[in-house]
Structure 1
């Protein structure tokens, strides 16, 4: 069970789905929330590196950026009954606002997590930029617990409280509740924000 848990533990799409799996693995990650929608398809080159293509739609600002993304697993701490991870990610993108010209853009992110079989903490900070379009920063923190501990091959359930700050969003600071279920290499999440917005995320590993 530990291998499957480690592969999917940091969830919520490209910003929160654990972006480095096993060498040679392919991962598809999708995220949808009131502020943005994202898609990421990446290949794990080694246990510390993955590379792929990401697309994002900034819903509040009506702009989109698409481009390559690289992610580095800086360090993994394996403890007797817990695990922690630190990641850095960056991308160079083509960015455009609806009806406008394509401009250079990019993003940089740091994210981390700690978990045992019952509790999980995770956080992320990111800066995204479209030249002549917009610069936005976002931070997110989650704390969650597993209401039961499933055995290997079972369905695992986590319940999270989340706080997200997005400088380009109408509600800059927004709490949310998110439920996550994963089975082997598939993770699904559904949640609702404090203002009634929908959160839908998924991760599929091949």
Structure 2
């Protein structure tokens, strides 16, 4: 796992679809998910997949209009960026399909632009930013399956769209709940084991 000091040291000079501070070795892949406050999404992915295929992760912003947005700007709901987590994973240990299935179970994908009563706004939308055609097909198939099997009485509103530019969130947001275990967490961020009624 990458040391925290790398969060402020870009590996690439120009921003692109992958975090500038995330080194992607040959054969490894990246997935990007948004579903409410990025602290909780990052924390729960790390909890379940560290040493099980998740190699590293960054929280950040994507899908909006502003270049190099700040947390304050994104939180104002004026940039159209979503709070997301970008996951570096080893596909020989965990598949994108498994991560996507898990994503649909750790937040409420049936509420538009909100998670719970506090995380409200387009920055908290349920969204999968995909990296390539294979991820697009898998995300669409998984969404359709979860709609039938897990959310049969509620429409999944999760957006699925290609990622363009990922902006790292400020350093203090990275691993936030690990560094601040008493901080508030979104009540919708937990692993669901039974279908929603």
State the TM-score, normalizing by the size of structure 1: 0.26
Whose helix fraction is larger, Structure 1's or Structure 2's?
2
| Bigger Cα Rg | 1
Whose strand fraction is larger, Structure 1's or Structure 2's?
1
- Structure having greater relative contact order (Cα 8 Å, sep ≥ 6): 2
